[in-house]
Chains A and B, each alone.
Chain A
Amino acid sequence: DAGVIQSPRHEVTEMGQEVTLRCKPISGHDYLFWYRQTMMRGLELLIYFNNNVPIDDSGMPEDRFSAKMPNASFSTLKIQPSEPRDSAVYFCASSFTVTSETQYFGPGTRLLVL
């Protein structure tokens, strides 16, 4: 079975450019999470969805970040405009249940903003 799929795996862009990260959760999973990981701040939850509806976006750093989940099999995280401090590894994860059971992580997108 395919796990969580993220694209691109690596992204290098210049400050001010728009960046779009994509995620395909595991089929049937009803929760989707976007995380950011840096050495300084560790693993941060940015936003998560339940049945395609955003539940908690309090971790989104600022208005430059937005996330959508138009259907159960696809989500995007967009940064516009990007800044060097956005450089990090962004993970998407999904889980299946109404309680906080196991989360399955994608391989991550390594973003470098120059």
Chain B
Amino acid sequence: SQQGEEDPQALSIQEGENATMNCSYKTSINNLQWYRQNSGRGLVHLILIRSNKREKHSGRLRVTLDTSKKSSSLLITASRAADTASYFCATDGSDRGSTLGRLYFGRGTQLTVWP
């Protein structure tokens, strides 16, 4: 499968703590994205990192990318109860020209932040 795989499947932390989620994938990529899904809602794009970058920040989010290991991590600092959601990584699979335009999503990490 070309899908990314997130680790852990579930993460439970207290407010104020940092949350780290990992993603591994199998193919070459142009970029990797992270999405968030609140219960009962659609996915919402959080951040995109291109394959020639190693790190990107956006507010309380920090994404790292290691293309040699085909892995990425999403760090949420100073977590809040409102961060409770599922988080998905998605890759574009650049070496599959026939699938241009699509993304490959993982199964997601369910993050619970307790107040």
For B33, list chain A residues within 8 Å (CB).
102
Q: What is the CA–CA distance of A84 and B48 in the complex, to the nearest angstrom? A: 37
Mask: chain A, 73-110; 1 = CB below 8 Å from B; 0 = not: 00000000000000000010101001111111111100
Interface 9-mer from B56-64, B76-84, B95-103: B95-103
B25 lies within 8 A of chain A by Cβ: no
Chain A's nearest CB lies how many Å from the CB of B62? 19
Residue B43 interfacial (CB < 8 Å): yes
Q: How far is the CB of B30 from chain A (nearest CB, A)?
A: 6
Contact B30 A100 (CB under 8 A): yes
A interface majority secondary structure:
strand
Chain B contacts for A91, CB-based, 8 A: 42-43
Q: Is the pair B105, A31 in contact by a Cβ cutoff of 8 Å?
A: no
> Among the listed A50, A102, A106, which residue makes an inter-chain contact with B101, where contact means beta carbons less than 8 Å apart?
A50
Could you say which interface size class chain A belongs to? 20 to 34
Contact B92 A45 (CB under 8 A): no
Q: Are B102 and A48 in contact (CB under 8 A)?
A: yes
Residues of B within 8 A of A102 (CB): 33, 45, 48
Residues of A within 8 A of B43 (CB): 43, 91, 93, 103, 105
On A, residues with C-beta under 8 Å from B are 4, 31, 33, 42-43, 45, 48, 50, 55-56, 91, 93, 95, 98-108
Sample of 15 more A-B contacts, CB < 8 Å, known A43-B105, A107-B41: A33-B102, A42-B106, A42-B107, A43-B88, A56-B98, A95-B101, A98-B101, A99-B30, A99-B100, A100-B92, A101-B48, A103-B103, A105-B43, A108-B41, A108-B42
